[in-house]
Structure 1
Amino acid sequence: MRDERGPVVLLVLLAIVAVLVVAWGVGQEDARSLAGPRSSAVDPSPSGLDPVATPAPTRDSDPEDPPADPAALPGGGTNVFGGNHFLVAYYGTGQTASMGVLGESDPDTMDRRLRRAARPFARPGRPVRHVYELIATVADGHPGPDGDYSHDIPRSVVRTYLDAAHRHGALLLLDLQPGRSDFLEVARRWAWALRDPWVGLALDPEWRMGPRQVPARTIGQVHAAEVNRTSAWLARLTREAGLPEKLFVLHQFRADMVLGIGDVHRRPGLAMVQHVDGFGTRHQKRATYAAVARPRRFTMGFKLFYDEDIRRMTPRDVLALRPRVRLVSFQ
């Protein structure tokens, strides 16, 4: 009688060998996953590099690409004017063209116009950063329900421009026209947006009213102490959140708009700009700039008006100004 156990034993041995081979292969794969680059499920970078170490997009990159490092500024780096950057801004508020070019079109169309306006300011070794200066708190000619002669635009509008800034690689600058409120009080209401690494703050003393003043009937003013309280708060927010340097702009076109400007403190973590705003002829604008500029205390900014300026200065004219301008905005 034939012994049937031989084939059975052979099948059992083959099964054991197969299990051992599979187990060895799984172990090798686990070892590779621990020792080698992270998979695409963890690291979306096609090169497999750590995203933090991936070079940030240059100004020639596709503006729709998200930033490689969310803690860096558009185009890379952590200093606003680092890498010899020059800033060009469009100014206004959302949903209306009455206050500047920013709101004349949808954000994507505005961005294309801004890039065309910014192109003549670029030079080899001097790339351009684009800025959306959005009036987030607007001065009013009436007191409103809280009696402060100003109102905040809807958060949804700010988010629309913030999303556009991230799509196109631009900074967003929140401009405050506080009416009878304190700049710091108003700035605190925008803390949620200022925690974004690409959002900065601009103070416009023209619209900082005293207790008996009404916007558009008088030109306002601010004391250096109020500017310092606001900048100290913003610098602390920036530091505690681990954010890159923030743009901090102080608008001015008359000497008495900022009382005690020599007492304004420079703050680590803030790129502090004195922005000279006056409109008129080329001669008038140069005279205003010469009268109020404080280049030893600030980086300098300058405004061009599409409608109000008479024979508007060209980019070459602006670049020839002394002290040297590093930020120009269009209204």
Structure 2
Amino acid sequence: MAFSSSSARFAGPFVSALGLIFSLSLASCGTRTDGENANTKATAETATPAAPVVVDSAKLQAMVMQRDSLKADSIAKKSGQLPGAILPGHRIIAFYGNIRSKGMGILGREPKEQMFRKFEGVLKEWQAADPSIPVQAALHNVTITAQGTPGKDGKWRLMNSKATIQEVLSWAKEHNCILFLDVQPGHSTLQAELPKLTEYLKDPIVHLGIDPEFSLSTMPGVRPNQKIGTLDAKDINFTVNFLARIVSENNLPPKVLTVHRFTRKMITNYKNIKLDPRVQIVMHMDGHGEPTLKKDSYHDYIVKEPVQYTGFKLFYEYDARPKPHHIMTPKEVIALTPSPLYVQYQ
């Protein structure tokens, strides 16, 4: 578990997981019969047919994931990073929200051009505060959102339309940003929701966020915002494997995965989270309040339970209440140990 500041890079091709599954499937289909003679053919016709070979697709996929992970690990050990890795060579600065909602964050609260002018100023502040590390701009759009009503399937969540996702992706590309698609699963699960985002995650600039606060599948009958939800290490590992497969199959640079957290129970069994060079995990301090409270939360829930990289959220509407509290400055956030490499404004 490291908070590394190295920014080494290297090159190396990935092996297609899909191709490996195909070859493994062929190899398990029995012996060849192209050399059979008449006698063997007659015998085969009168013999009891052999039972069909049962292919355990889940086992095959696990074998593929293990092979690809070992390959990625061996490359990373030699050269330090997979090609195109954003962390730790950059600090990601993100505007968070939903472009269809004024109430979810700065992304969507203000008119587009006004918001981007503000964002440009924020990026300059961060680059000036720490010239030693390049700033990477990001938009963080809540794409699957927990809802106040259960919906037809009782899952208490709703996904943005394809048009909305394409629009925020076009905003990101216009302004040289990367894009995070954030998931609040409600009473659904990551296993059910993440595949809906596969086509978008094939884009090299698209990354992923997951929000345990709104993961309530283990809390029947609980409405989002009534209680704080939870995810286990097995859910994080599923997400890592899901992203890693997309990276390998599409020859992409590593994906960044942000995991929101501001209580201990939001993430259980953190020591069981498995790292993979194809996915860079950011444990993100998501709480609001005055600076001392935020620093304590960062220490208690992020620093004391390290995974890989760290993040820190700043709230335009809540951190400065009541006076004389203030939104922490870039220099104050940079001074934290370890210094966050992902910073989000809501």
Same fold (TM > 0.5): yes
Could you list the per-position Cα deviations for residues 275-323 of structure 1 after superposition, in whole angstroms to 9, with x for gaps in the alignment? 0011111111111111011474220100000011131111111011112
Counterpart AA for 2:134: P
Cross-structure match for 1:130: 137
> For 1:238 and 1:187, how far apart are their aligned partners in 2?
14
Cross-structure match for 1:153: 160
Q: Say which structure, 1 or 2, has more relative contact order (CA 8 Å, 6+ apart).
A: 2
Counterpart AA for 1:261: Y
Query: Residue 279 of structure 1 aligns to a residue in which SS?
Result: coil
> For 1:139 and 1:218, how far apart are their aligned partners in 2?
13
Query: Residue 185 of structure 2 aligns to a residue in which SS?
Result: coil
> For 2:87 and 2:116, how far apart are their aligned partners in 1?
20
Is 1:304 the counterpart of 2:314 in the alignment? yes
Identical counterparts, % of pairs: 31
Cross-structure match for 2:120: 115
Q: Contact 2:270–2:307 at 8 Å: present in 1 too? A: no
**TM-score, normalized by length of structure 2?**
0.71
Cross-structure match for 2:274: 265
Cross-structure match for 2:332: 317
Equivalences for residues 1-331 of structure 1 within 5 A? 78-81=84-87, 84-122=89-127, 123-209=130-216, 210-294=219-303, 296-310=306-320, 311-331=326-346
> For 2:195 and 2:117, how far apart are their aligned partners in 1?
31
Could you list the per-position Cα deviations for residues 182-202 of structure 1 after superposition, in whole angstroms to 9, with x for gaps in the alignment? 112111101111110000010
Aligned-pair CA distance for 1:109: 3.7
Query: Residue 247 of structure 1 aligns to a residue in which SS?
Result: strand
Return 5+ residue gaps in structure 2 as ranges. 1-82, 321-325
Counterpart AA for 1:243: L
Q: Contact 1:107–1:161 at 8 Å: present in 2 too? A: no
> For 2:345 and 2:146, how far apart are their aligned partners in 1?
20
> For 2:215 and 2:310, how far apart are their aligned partners in 1?
21
Return 5+ residue gaps in structure 1 as ranges. 1-76
Query: Residue 325 of structure 1 aligns to a residue in which SS?
Result: coil
Query: Residue 169 of structure 1 aligns to a residue in which SS?
Result: coil
Higher-Rg member (1/2): 1
Query: Residue 138 of structure 1 aligns to a residue in which SS?
Result: strand
> For 2:119 and 2:274, how far apart are their aligned partners in 1?
31
Could you list the per-position Cα deviations for residues 81-123 of structure 1 after superposition, in whole angstroms to 9, with x for gaps in the alignment? 25x2111000001221100000123444433322211222113
Q: Identify the range of structure 1 (117-126 vs 89-98) with the bigger mean alpha-carbon deviation.
A: 117-126
> For 2:330 and 2:148, how far apart are their aligned partners in 1?
35
Q: Contact 1:108–1:164 at 8 Å: present in 2 too? A: no
Change (3 A) 1:286 1:125: closer
Aligned-pair CA distance for 1:212: 2.7
Q: Contact 2:263–2:301 at 8 Å: present in 1 too? A: yes
Could you list the per-position Cα deviations for residues 57-97 of structure 1 after superposition, in whole angstroms to 9, with x for gaps in the alignment? xxxxxxxxxxxxxxxxxxxx601125x21110000012211
> For 1:80 and 1:322, how far apart are their aligned partners in 2?
20
Aligned residues: CA RMSD: 1.4
